[in-house]
Amino acid sequence: MEQFLNINTIKFDKNGLVPAITQDAETGDILMFAWMNRESLEKTLETRVMTYWSRSRGKLWVKGESSGNTQEVRKVFIDCDEDVILFKVDQKGMQASCHKGYRSCFYREIDPDDGTYSVIAEKVFDPDDVYKK
């Protein structure tokens, strides 16, 4: 049974934000986690390009606006409590979603036995070259 998503049923937190998980549509790899407000969600659904709310900058943030590493929406899922959104995307550009130069923001693995972590991925680009300030 098809139903239409009413954006008003999404449970934004007290700051007007909802968690957004971004996953590679082909590989299933989790690329990143970020926050969205109502405006960024509406813009994402309208343009099919991931747009987030940057808490540190206090403004909308179109993924890839600086780096060219955009994320095109293929599918959108909402969890059972309507308080988390999952986006399956095609990663464009250098195939990297992390501002530190990695394909995924989850490039470190923590050993649950001793709490140490290891970098488990190779950098796709040098952030100093991409984000010249």
Checking if the pLDDT of 133 tops 80, the result is no
Give 130 or 16, the one with higher predicted confidence. 16
Checking if the pLDDT of 5 tops 70, the result is no
- Per-residue pLDDT tens digits for 6-15: 788 899 999 9
- Per-residue pLDDT tens digits for 31-43: 999 999 999 999 9
pTM of the prediction? 0.90
- The whole-number pLDDT of residue 104 equals 95
Checking if the pLDDT of 53 tops 80, the result is yes
**Architecture (CATH level 2) of domain 16-130:** Roll (3.10)
Q: What does pLDDT average to over the chain?
A: 93
Answer whether 73's CB lies under 8 Å from 21's CB: no
Percentage, residues of the chain above pLDDT 90: 80
Greatest CA separation for the chain: 51
CA distance 29 to 54: 22
- Per-residue pLDDT tens digits for 81-119: 999 999 999 999 888 899 999 999 999 999 999 999 999
